[in-house]
Amino acid sequence: MSLTPTRLYRLVARAEAVTWALLLTGMFLKYVTETTELGVQVFGMVHGVVFIAYCLTTVLLRVDQSWSLGRLVAGLAAAVPPFATVPFERYAERKGLLGDAWRLRTQSPHGVVERLAAWLVRRPLQGAVAGLVAVAGLTVVALVVGPPA
């Protein structure tokens, strides 16, 4: 089973929505029932990691599938309100923005960004490792910068 652009985007969009639900549950327990902060501590971190993965995947799809800048911005903005990634993913699939194959596996890349994306999609194992390293690195940066005010 190949991880097509559609499958990958569906996976991260739904994971982002699930982690939103977990974080909101943690917030309910912390602020409404005042029973525990553990849900926010754990699910906040999980949501942050998946949020970063969703954003990086959205950028990769923009490059590989030649999305417009407006579609990229809409995809990234969908990560902000709870659960909006799922309707955006469905919209993108309906509009044919995701594709059943990686364009840059067969087409010649143009420019540095496309060459990087082509390397990622042509070497799935190394691409996955690079993606995990990028998510981890950006997570560390986010932890150093601190939580949103």
Q: How far apart are CA 19 and CA 40, in angstroms?
A: 11
DSSP state of 108: P
Q: Count the neighbouring beta carbons within 10 Å of the beta carbon of residue 53.
A: 21
Q: What is the mean pLDDT of the chain?
A: 95
Query: What is the arithmetic mean of pLDDT over 65-93?
Result: 97
Query: What is the arithmetic mean of pLDDT over 29-43?
Result: 94
pTM for the full predicted model:
0.94
The tokens for 74 are 């809409």
Q: How far apart are CA 136 and CA 98, in angstroms?
A: 25
Q: How far apart are CA 34 and CA 13, in angstroms?
A: 30
The tokens for 52 are 């970063």
The tokens for 86 are 């799922």
Quick: pLDDT tens for 89-133. 999 999 999 999 999 999 999 999 999 999 999 999 999 999 999
In percent, how much of the chain has pLDDT > 90?
95
Q: What is the pLDDT of residue 2?
A: 78
Report whether pLDDT(1) > 80. Answer: no
